Chain A
Amino acid sequence: MVALHATQAEPAAVELTDVVKRFHAITAVDGVSIRVEHGTVVTWLGPSGCGKTTTLRLLAGLEQPTSGRVLVWGVDPARVSARERSTSMIFQEYALFPHLNVEDNVAFGLKVRGVGREQRHRRARELLDLLGLGGFERRMPRELSGGQRQRVAMARSLILEPKVLLLDEPLGALDAQVRRQLVDELRSLQRRLGLTFIYVTHDQAEAMALSDRVVVMNRGRVVQDGPPDVVYRHPRTSFVARFLGDCNIVDGVIRSIEGATAYVELGGFGTVCPEANGHCAVLGEPAPVKVALRPEDLRVVPEKDGRARALVLDHTFLGSEIRYQLDVSGLRVQAMTDHDVVHEARTWVGLQWRDEQLSIVEDDLPDVSATI
């Protein structure tokens, strides 16, 4: 998509230009161009098979692009030996050496570079202390919990002082609570060390919690690229909208456009989309569109107070919130509200929303008839 141009003289930490990677008949990466500045956390987010891991492996120098250019700190990682690269990779499931204890695992990179025993073990212990694993030096990987293994893998990479850390679904095998804790730890670690993190995951919660920038990928292409809140609040396509969380996507018709604002008719009532996401330029008027709104942005209010009238079909109590299934002039939507008042099924309610929270999305999923 659109590459962000920086004006500094320093090379970007990572720069991919029109990168394509094919494996026999499969195109894993299909024309990706990205530029990442140093010190940021960028997450490649997408479903399995979208090309995010392949892209990461291209950055690690483990694969060579079929065409296009891959640069890390101005250097093609596949062309130089591992020791000359600025990257270090944390593999899926960590790939800790099962026959080495924690300290030897961490010191491995220094050992193969010929660093003396005393020195490398001292450095290893320092790093383990830094990551809260002091005292674990003699343990074997199989004796560690998932979270501990992840930290050992981090230590093993960080000891080599890379400028760019590549993380391949590092929290995949852990349960939710450990994951949340580790996300915070990773974030603070990154801030402290000032490294560039390139993070790959299919979990949108991780992506949004951790990153400065989210790159959403599907089928080898970058679909949207921006800060987490922008990508979440204003998805460009229905794929992005759905991937990042529950989302209402309804069919509507554009009646008129003024500047960047579109006036859209949705099943009998009208609304305004102030941020038309650049669609206006391509669409004629009137034209069918899809409009997206997050359930938590759709408020359920008493009927007389609403901008639109809806019939409650069902509600589910979720603890801190209630999820409603509603029918609005034949459109089915979801809303999430707090549980002050519970509206029973088959009652009429009103809906409120803020226009700025609506997005017009491109339809890139095969079946996008209604909401989830």
Chain B
Amino acid sequence: MRRERRFGVGTWVAFLPLLGWQVVFYAVPFGVLALASFWQLEGNRLIPAWTLDNYARVFSKSFYFDAWIESLWLTIALVATVSVIGYAVAYTIVFCVPPRWQPVVLLAMVAPFWTNYLIRAYGWSMVLGGAGPVNSVLQALGLISQPMQLLYTPLATRIGLTHFLSVVMALFVYARMVSIDRRLLEAAADLGASRWQAFREVVLPLTVTALKTALAVVIVWGFADYVTPAVLGGQNPRVFAQLVVDSIQRNANWTLGASFAAMMVLSILFFSALTSRIPAPRSQDLA
């Protein structure tokens, strides 16, 4: 007989420290952040005087808008490249790598990311720099006559972020793809589907939820990552995340920064909502 699961005093005592900590140091700061976007700054202190000035300023300068657009392009580019690469990698691991070796490959793929992302960006800045291997190889091959400006361009940011996010996508998709019942694919083959058709009609629909979850992560990073654009993308054009940080670090304009942050959150939520509307696999009506 199943015994009742009782939720007594002892449980609360053990659980409360974590919950309390998170409420005080996580929920409250976010509340403050949201509120700060509506408050004002006096000297160096935040004062709860309600105002919409901050938001007005966000929408006032075209150069803020440009930064937002830049972030948008970045995110779109990332969504496209990361999805393709991630799927290709996941597919290869699931279907071309023997099962015994799959964990090894995955670990090898993941290990470089359990490190300081600053160092990774730094590494990329060396790779893409004027004297770096990319330029050296291109020059050696005779494709260009002098070093190309790769660093401090939007392309560099995209490369840097694709580097990280493609692994995330590959992991999410792998996790879902590896557990697809092989007999479904055998049935598809038996019914005459080619391998590409089987992929399109069976594998793809079944992994869509993993794709969507990973895309949510991509969107967050596209809009919110500061380090990669700052190290690799340079100052012109800047991305939205850089605006947030600059308003804080350079100008100590916290309330403005909070408004930027709010805009960032809204953008992320909006685009995440868009991706979540990718249809789940469903059969079409047979007309």
Contact = CB atoms under 8 A, between A and B. Distances in A.
A79 interface: no
A54 B1 contact: yes
B4 A24 contact: yes
Contacts of A28: 1
A48 interface: yes
Interface in A39-55: 48-51, 53-54
Contacts, number: 11
A316 B1 CA distance: 36
Nearest to A57: B3
A341 interface: no
Contacts of B3: 23
B2 to A, nearest CB: 9
A176 interface: no
A83 B125 CA distance: 68
Interface string A256-273: 000000000000000000
Interface string B1-22: 1011000000000000000000
Interface in A278-331: none
B4 A51 contact: no
A9 interface: no
Contacts of A23: 3-4
A112 interface: no
Nearest to A54: B1
Contacts of A54: 1
Nearest to A26: B4
A53 B2 CA distance: 10
B1 A53 contact: yes
A50 B4 CA distance: 15
A50 B1 CA distance: 8
A53 B3 CA distance: 10
A26 B4 CA distance: 9
B4 A49 contact: no
A320 to B, nearest CB: 36
Contacts of B1: 28, 48-51, 53-54
Interface in A83-130: none
A246 to B, nearest CB: 26
B4 to A, nearest CB: 5
Contacts of B4: 23-24, 26
Interface in B1-49: 1, 3-4
Interface string B129-147: 0000000000000000000
Nearest to A62: B3
B215 to A, nearest CB: 40
A346 to B, nearest CB: 46
A94 B281 CA distance: 45
A117 B4 CA distance: 39
Nearest to B1: A49
Contacts of A48: 1
Nearest to B2: A49
A181 B3 CA distance: 31
Interface in A231-252: none
B14 to A, nearest CB: 21
Interface string A315-356: 000000000000000000000000000000000000000000
Interface in A1-51: 23-24, 26, 28, 48-51
Nearest to A47: B1
Nearest to A63: B3
A28 B4 CA distance: 11
A95 to B, nearest CB: 15
Contacts of A26: 4
A172 to B, nearest CB: 14
B3 to A, nearest CB: 7
A49 to B, nearest CB: 5
A49 B4 CA distance: 12
A53 B1 CA distance: 7
A45 to B, nearest CB: 14
A138 B4 CA distance: 37
Contacts of A49: 1
Contacts of A53: 1
A26 B3 CA distance: 10
B48 to A, nearest CB: 47
A28 B3 CA distance: 10
A156 B1 CA distance: 25
A51 B3 CA distance: 11
Nearest to A48: B1
B163 to A, nearest CB: 41
Nearest to B4: A23
Interface string A47-81: 01111011000000000000000000000000000
Given A24-B4, A51-B1, 9 more contacts: A23-B3, A23-B4, A26-B4, A28-B1, A48-B1, A49-B1, A50-B1, A53-B1, A54-B1
Interface of A: 23-24, 26, 28, 48-51, 53-54
6 contacts: A23-B3, A23-B4, A28-B1, A48-B1, A51-B1, A53-B1
10 A-B pairs with least C-beta separation: A23-B4, A49-B1, A53-B1, A24-B4, A48-B1, A54-B1, A28-B1, A23-B3, A51-B1, A26-B4
Interface of B: 1, 3-4
